[in-house]
Structure 1
Amino acid sequence: MPLSLQILETIEQLKEMAKLEEEIWGTAPVPLHQTLTVAKNGGIIIGAYADGKLVGFVYSFPGFRNGEVYLCSHMMGIAAPFRDQGIGYRLKMKQAEEARRRGYRSIRWTYDPLQSRNGYLNLAKLGALGVEYVENCYGEMNDALNGQLPSDRFIVEWRLDERPTGERSLAKADLLKDRGLTVLEAGQRADGLLRPVPRDIDETAAPLLLAAVPLDFPQLKERDLALALEWRLATRSLFQRLLTEGWIAAGAWRRSGEPAMHYIWVRRNEWLPQKGEEE
């Protein structure tokens, strides 16, 4: 599929983005005066076009924290018929390229850690790190994707001085298959749905930790809302604890045919000093 990526900055382009945003989430889009102001003041808005039609976008603006200016990537959306075709990855890579060109050193954004598609893209393919967990980040949300559950979010950081692409090689395959490193399993119920099963393991000597989430959380939520809330609360409790104890989410792993994805957790003080090193 021929695809072109373009910087969005005109009123006409941003109106087209607003229309796509409304189509994807079913809610009122970011006002045009806001997106236009962002485009003119250090923000980066990129659109993906197929046959001249806007089918995806990423929307970001400057942020500031702890004395550092970074790019805050607030929203990325892909039209339903064009998902799972690598468009999100291409948009993020173009965003990183443009951010470097403009002098940004890092990009930060939030995502729901129970959305495995986003988790795999962000941590495994892009190489971002899950560094914070925010409970009910946006309060009550009424769109189809987020409704009926607390809007918990990972905050991820993508350092642009690291390798720009490629999936991280965090461990040998035998480590990823080691149940002794799994702190949260996905147990299968009689109806086929997955339930969270916490495991008490000795974490002190573990080279990494694995935590499962359902591969298709939206479907699970649609079939059993109470079970979806159970997953939300189980991952919230675990992920907050791990971050407090000095772990960070540094990768994601999935095996063909399995209905779960595993987050790979590593010790912050052992991982972060390696940033920017050549392999």
Structure 2
Amino acid sequence: MPLSLQIIETIEQLNEMAELEADVWGTAPIPLHQTLTVAKNGGVVIGAYVDGKLVGFVYSFPGFRNGEMYLCSHMIGIDASFRDRGIGYRLKMKQAEEARRRGYRVIRWTYDPLQSRNGYLNLAKLGAVGVEYIENCYGEMDDALNGRLPSDRLIVEWRLDERPASEWNGSQAEFQGVSVLEAEETVGGLLRPVPRDIDETAAPLLLAAVPLDFPQLKERDPALALEWRLATRALFQRLLAEGWVAAGAWRRPGEAVLHYIWRRRGERLQQEGGKER
């Protein structure tokens, strides 16, 4: 599949992006006057094309907080028929390349931490770090991806001058993490959150499980989906307040969960043999 990555900046390209955005989220897209203004004023908007057709995009603009300028990555969308082909990763790497060229050193964005595909991309493959949790970030969102749940989000930072984390391919024993949230199978075959009350003071790393296929769980049992939202909200907010950050994600073949890996702020995951430990 020959893929072309291009900077989007013309009205024609932005209209095509708006059509794809509407298809992905099922709602009205960002107005053209806004996306055009972003593209012409320091934003980074990139499209992924296959045979001349736009199949994915990333949309970002300048941000400023606590005296630091950064690139705020607001949206990434992939055509449904082109997902799980690595397009999101390639868009983010191209975004980082372009951000560096324009003088940015940090990219920040939000995502739903219960969307395991995004969590694995952001933390395991890109090496971003979860640093802040926002409860019901966007209020009620009645769209195809967010409907029926509070729109909680994890803010991640991707510091472009730091060496990115390699993809985590170990086992739990290898990095001596202790589990603070596990998943238990219900009678109906779905997963229920099971928080663990443990002493975290001496733990080098913590593990928190989330379902791999949360969209399907949400569709089948909205009440159970809300239970996951509230359980992860309480845990993630507490860990962040106590000085932990979400620094990785790991999944074992055959398991139905993704494990978030938490380390203490200011410490780094140790590397050995090219793999995270």
Distance in 2 between residues matched to 1:44 and 1:181, nearest whole Å: 39
1:220 and 2:217 matched: yes
For 1:119-268, what aligned pairs fall within 5 Å after superposition?
119-164=119-164, 166-167=166-167, 173-176=172-175, 181-268=178-265
Q: Deviations over 1:64-85 (max 9, x none)?
A: 0011110000000000000000
2:173 aligned partner, one-letter code: D
Counterpart CA distance in 2 for 1:172 and 1:215 is 17
Alignment of 1:53-72 (within 5 A): 53-72=53-72
Amino acid at match of 2:263: V
Task: Report the residue type matching 1:265 in the other structure.
Answer: W
Q: Identical aligned pairs, as a percentage? A: 82
Q: Are 2:130 and 2:247, in contact at CA under 8 Å, matched by a contact in 1?
A: yes
Tell me which residue corresponds to 1:81: 81
Distance 2:93 2:166 in 1: 11
State the distance in 1 between where 2:79 and 2:166 align: 25
Q: Structure 2 matches for 1:97-116, cutoff 5 A?
A: 97-116=97-116
Mapped contact 1:127–1:168 kept (Cα < 8 A) = no
CA distance in 2, matches of 1:263, 1:270: 16
Distance in structure 2 (CA, Å) of the matches to 1:261 and 1:14: 35
* Offset at residue 165 of structure 1 (A): 6.4
Paired residue secondary structure (2:2): coil
Cα distance between partner residues in 2 of 1:266 and 1:81: 36
Aligned mates of 1:173, 1:93 — CA distance in 2: 28
Contact 1:253/1:262 (<8 A) preserved: yes
With normalisation by structure 2, the TM-score equals 0.94
User: Which structure 1 residue ranges, 5 or more long, are not aligned?
Assistant: none
Structure 2: segments with no counterpart, 5+ residues: none
Q: Which amino acid aligns with 1:226?
A: A
Within 5 A, what are the aligned runs for 1:40-51? Answer: 40-51=40-51
Q: What number of residue pairs does the alignment pair up? A: 271
SS at match of 1:270: coil
TM-score, normalised via structure 1 length? 0.94
Range with bigger deviation, 184-193 or 108-117: 184-193
TM-superposition CA deviations, 1:130-157 (whole Å, max 9, x none): 0000000000000011011000000000
Shift in Å, 1:175: 4.0
Distance 2:235 2:116 in 1: 17
- Write the deviation string for residues 191-228 of structure 1: whole angstroms up to 9, x where unpaired: 11000000011101001000000000000000000000
User: d(CA) in 1 for partners of 2:166 and 2:62?
Assistant: 26
Structure 2 residue identity aligned to 1:244: A
Deviation at 1:162, TM superposition (A): 1.1
